[in-house]
Structure 1
């Protein structure tokens, strides 16, 4: 069939007019009526055919089809009445399977598609109808609705006006036109109030606008965004996020709403959500502009900052605090939390003060160093700088040549004369804890703050593992001895470093430098420069990785240490009274006058 049902119907009518008893003519008329959706006329034609040919079984099938179409039509009308447009679409498509040329069912399908937001499909259907009849008011109305729901309100108005000129009493067209005019007017009123700075008035108008036509998703998404802008200006960041989310629910590709929500998330310090929204913007923008990339970078930095300790908050200073303010804040808080002041507190309280004291030291170390402070403020990792170098010394040198940051303990704080930040009475309340150094020689060593025997004895008493002493050749001008040891845990490593530091400060003379500590409580190693001795404390894995014993004691021209003169070291071993059971080894200095091949140079003594 060619689908020319109107012409076919006209031919069938002519045939039965010439011969009223022509059953096939009546049957053809019924099929044409059914295809065009005229159920009553189709049933009349099929009944006449049945009367003329009682034994024709085809008629019974056609009559059953009419019953099916009647049921579908009932369901369709009910779905439209309750605004169940998905079901209405389903029913209209089923009806069009039967009444393939029915204009009414095509209009119902187009209307359902419009309410479901499938505007292009709806427009294709009504444009096809309008090509046949340019004055079809239902099709004109639906095309106007498609334009209206796509926020092309001015062009939609012209369609609504044309419909009302053709059918002044068309109630549905009149109501749609009224809503569209009211929506446009209210939205413009809100825009004017916003531009005039009347934010509360604009907020109220936009809220009223959203209640006019909830079906118009695209226009309402813009109104939600406008209201979000107002809330943002008012500092209502949570409401801004809610309005932007509502706008994005109606239009998931709304980049402006995404950008504003991201900014509001940042103001609320919800940094993960902020980064996620900026990343979504980058994906939506085919050619992401420089500003969006910058905002994303800043959001990622803020996220990184949020996941680390707030050193300014720990010290209780503003982010613009100068060096003196940072130093005074550290001194004041260090007095409060120093472990020496809480020796009589409960275990839980001592741990809390220890943690706070460590955080203070960490914060002060960073904020008192201009370079570290700048990196911290930029959100960069503080460990990125590294010590890479091709030479042996620069590769394994763990100490900065710059003057180290001084970390004060309770006794040093007592001696600081600064009446602006603490009273003398408060300082004198700090309890002394000299009993912790019982049995330790607090006099300066003969060759430096510590003599090597004294330091090894301390480490041995603290149960360090595999203590190794390397005598450094004088020509390197680095130190006299390097001590390498393995610790069981980071807590033990930090505790021993702090203890050695306190002992050294009691042993030192005014001419001696303060001990330098490299590494933090979180690192897998800590190194201490004690002047004549450098102490390295590693966890087992990191010690194997650096292998400082081999690095400092073995070379391609080095003798096997068993061939070297060990009298000096034998004397030292006798003094320290160490044996193989005490996990101690001594690595002699390297000599370069042997032809033997290099070997592992230290032995357990």
Structure 2
């Protein structure tokens, strides 16, 4: 064969490209020499041997540019005796040989591509059988790159996509399967092929139905039912499509006229079938928001962001709802997601600045509470209330903090007012607020009110140690009514510090010193009061005894101290002067 001669000459595909490029001008622009000039060229093929020898040298050195004379050199010219046309037969043969070489290379490439695709298909099946979806997917990608029109590979990849929950990615592959083999009904005699394509049609219908494309899903199920009339599953799918279509229409009608209470359950029914239909979640979220169920509305909008991840409008809506619930920090997180999609969004950017400012103030307030800087806490709370005057839940959260800060700052009336506002408008079973208000009630000796708050806190939070201990203390304090109240004796508040206690003690001791009274009856009263004043000082200036008294136990009461040694505060006696009777009281202030 003449091709063998040229295969020995052509060492690689680069030379083949040079040859083809050289032939194109010759094919397009044939020789224009006259008949007489062509005659002179006949028989000049004697130099062919030397020419091919030079060509081999140039090929071995890959000096292809010097081969152009070979390509365009006329060899074996002959003349048609009738027409006078001169034909270069070597050139004609060379063209045919080059075409043959090109076709061999093409068929070899196609064959290699199919072998590569088959190899990846086999590996994909192996990984799929092991449940290694990511590895299977990578091999199916490679197989489709090698053979993009293999419908079996496309269907296998769609199956993997569906297995990992990527229905949107599976849909184009299922479309390609049906497009490549639209005549699957006519191929019913090929059982395996018909089952595969029928399954592809049903799978696509399932995906479209979940996405809410009712019309196209119905078309797929109808085509599947026509191909396999005995398939009961397809018949059920068709019934389901029609049923959900009617439900959505009815829900939309209620929604349009503002009957949201009737629309909401219908949207919920439709979502059970069309789980990936974003519009259903949007409408149900609007219904739930208007009906007051904000948390469920947020949950629906969050689902929308998964179905439509580039929806800035949805992220903005979620951010607004979180802000209205008082969760400023989460509101800020959601509006940031919006700005990731569009940093200059006309709705999200201004709202971001507002939420960021408020979040910073709230964090500062919480830090002051942790540091127990109660007066600074009240100042910061006032700033927040001035900044946000409309959102009730944000204001309630501030009142919740002022309830605690006022209590610890000694502003008991203000604490009761703030706590009561939170319990009235917000959560009536807030355990911390109930305990704070109960403690404030105790400061005013409103024992019944305090006991009621502690009991309510325990009814909703049985594990609350603070509520349990507070209730026990309030009940003890109530039993002590009529007994000595050391705070009352000195005329001080229950949150008085040691300096205030000593100051009050000195003032009371001067007033009730027995030497100040000459009447025997008044002197006895003064002695009793003076003993109580000294007892109050002893208990309230001792941190351990004071804590015991605050828990409802009198450390100087013999009945409550039977388990320990009773110590009377005046067992060493007092000296009020030389004529003061059997008692010798010597009182030292401080």
TM-score range, shorter chain: 0.3 to 0.5
Larger Rg: 2
User: Which structure shows the higher strand fraction?
Assistant: 1
User: Which structure shows the higher helix fraction?
Assistant: 2
Compare relative contact order (CA 8 Å, sep 6+) and give the higher one, 1 or 2.
1
Task: Compute the TM-score of the two structures, normalised by the length of structure 1.
Answer: 0.39
